[in-house]
Amino acid sequence: MGSRGSSSGRGVGKHGAGMEGKETGATVKSSHYMTDEIGEGGGSFVNEVMTTRDNLEQIYGDSVRDLNLQAATFSDGSVLGAYGGNTLFMAERYIKNTELTNVMKQAAKDGYHPSIGNFSGAEAVTAHEIGHRLGEVAAQRAGISEKDIVSRAASTLGIKTENMGGHISGYARTNYGETIAEACADVYCNGSGAARASRAIMNEVKKALS
């Protein structure tokens, strides 16, 4: 996506992981390199996204490397971010303000997303979207499904597979891909204070990636 806006034509269309959307799909109307925002007042936001990506790469390895980072406009204004086609999309409207952090804090209070701890909204959403990448790659490498990953974690805790998401957040109950993504955000933001279900899932992701 070399040019600002959607002139390149790439990145436009349906993608998984529409955070806050009513469905798990997110339609990207237009997108551009996130680094284009640095000179326009979005440097702090971009740095938080890139740092989160780098930190998760250190933990989970090359499955996170070379992710394309894009600022996007979504057809559904409630979508915060999305992942698809080796690209992580972040809602452009939040880049130059602190509103995303407030949105995520309120969502945590409502039980819709996990607590973001002392992290920003940008960091929490980035961790969630990279969680989609991790779940996808882990399942491919292990020759299993994302449900299998959650099921293996569930067995270590004595919890029914279908109930795992409910131990993490409201959104984690959407499907198993979202369960893993929410677990990733929970563990990244809360560490040992994350839900047992989240920690167990991310342990299984690590095993599948190795």
Q: Which domain holds residue 77?
A: 13-209
Would residue 90 count as lying in a domain? yes
Would residue 2 count as lying in a domain? no
Return d(Cα 187, Cα 202) in angstroms, integer.
8
The residues that bridge with 122 in the sheet, in sequence order, are: none
Would residue 152 count as lying in a domain? yes
Report the predicted TM-score, pTM, of the whole model to 2 decimal places. 0.89
Return d(Cα 132, Cα 123) in angstroms, integer.
15
pLDDT in tens, the chain (210 residues): 211 122 222 333 444 445 544 445 678 999 999 999 999 999 999 999 999 999 999 999 999 988 999 999 999 989 999 999 899 999 999 999 999 999 999 999 999 999 999 999 999 999 999 999 999 999 999 999 999 999 999 999 999 999 999 999 999 999 999 999 999 999 999 999 999 999 999 999 999 999
Would residue 145 count as lying in a domain? yes
What is the total count of domains within the chain?
Answer: 1
Would residue 3 count as lying in a domain? no
> Which candidate, 100, 76, 80, places its Cα nearest to that of 90?
80
Would residue 4 count as lying in a domain? no
Would residue 8 count as lying in a domain? no
Q: Where are the alpha helices (DSSP H) in 40-194?
A: 43-60, 99-109, 121-142, 146-157, 176-190
What is the 3-class SS of 34-99, one letter each residue?
A: HHHHHHHCCHHHHHHHHHHHHHHHHHHHHHCCCCEEEEEEECCCCCCEEEECCEEEEEHHHCCCCH
Would residue 1 count as lying in a domain? no
Query: Residue 46 in contact with residue 40, Cβ under 8 Å?
Result: no
